[in-house]
Structure 1
Amino acid sequence: MKHFDRLVSPRTGAEAGRMNVGVAHSEVNPNTRVMNSRGIWLAYMLLVAVLHVVLLSIPFFSVPLVWTLTNVIHNLVMYLFLHTVKGTPFETPDQGKARLLTHWEQMDYGIQFTASRKFLTISPIVLYILASFYTKYDATHFLINTGSLLSVLLPKLPQFHGVRIFGINKY
């Protein structure tokens, strides 16, 4: 009975200051802070490196082709995840405000130029520079890599926040 009273009665003293750390979050929409999570940037870079090593392990792929494929696959996947998928995978109490927003538009509550947005903007640029260098600025690879970079950078610009060109991905 004494144990039951302790469970029912409010906490006092030193017990009142304890928190259940890591049990719950206070975010209305978890999509807004996922790129600020601990270790996510390292995991992101490691996944890109693993993709590159896997492509390098294919015997009939040349080094320039592997760099171009790494760049294009990275940019395609990031475009799909950040700029095509809309809404949230969670039930959120925001009354559907995030339903029509892409993941990029939801990140950091739409605030521009945060650390995570800068990281996700700079990473395809760095990958593009590496791909251009290792392909020795070959015209074909350069055009493919430039088109891929533009397709992932333009939607990140603040001027395109909420804009749907030609009504694509409007609903």
Structure 2
Amino acid sequence: QSKQAMQVGTAHSDPNPNHIYFNSRGIWMTYIIFILIAHFIILSIPFISVGLAWTLTCQVHNFITYLWLHWEKGAPFEPLDQGESRTLTHWEQLDDGVQFTANKKFLLVVPTVVFLLATFYSRYDQIHFIANALSLVVLSIAPKLPMFYRVRLFGINKW
């Protein structure tokens, strides 16, 4: 449960809107549309096959979401949480840190579906499969596991 405080002149009552913005109406569909737009942009590049386009979509998606959810810390605005979110990644702030919410399950399922699409459209090519599987596990699944909550491996990204 998030601490609520009365804030005169603000549009929300949450000290850190990073906790709840992913509950906004239409955000899941917008996220999927962005993935599809990126895929169609990659697919429009000459000499790129459909399988390679899906592999690149998978790689780019996993890298960008890793940076967005698991590398960047703090908030893109000045939160009113007295600096509590300053050292937390976006994933750690999402849904006020509660594990296995609908949003967090969605953010686990989407990269898996993109991986399956990339595997299928690359016709189960071994090189594509290994690249996509490594990207999926290292960048999209492992950082989301509860055992890595607030953990900085080897002190990387600690501050």
Larger Rg, first or second structure (1 or 2): 1
Q: Which residue of 2 aligns with 1:93?
A: 80
The TM-score normalised by the length of structure 1 is 0.85
Residue 162 in structure 1 maps to residue 150 in structure 2: yes
After the TM superposition, which parts of structure 1 deviate over 4 Å for at least 4 consecutive aligned residues? none
Output one character per residue of 1:91-145: Cα deviation in whole Å (capped at 9) or x when no partner: 2222111100000000000000111111001000011111111111111101100
Match of 1:123 among 106, 110, 115: 110
Alignment of 1:4-153 (within 5 A): 24-151=11-138, 152-153=140-141
The TM-score normalised by the length of structure 2 is 0.91
**How many positions carry a matched residue from both structures?**
149
Unaligned segments of structure 1, at least 5 residues: 1-22
RMSD over aligned CA atoms reads 1.0
Output one character per residue of 1:71-100: Cα deviation in whole Å (capped at 9) or x when no partner: 000011000000000001222222111100
Unaligned segments of structure 2, at least 5 residues: 1-9
Identity of aligned residues (%): 54
CA distance in 1, matches of 2:75, 2:58: 27
User: Which residue identity lines up with residue 161 of structure 1 in the other structure?
Assistant: Y
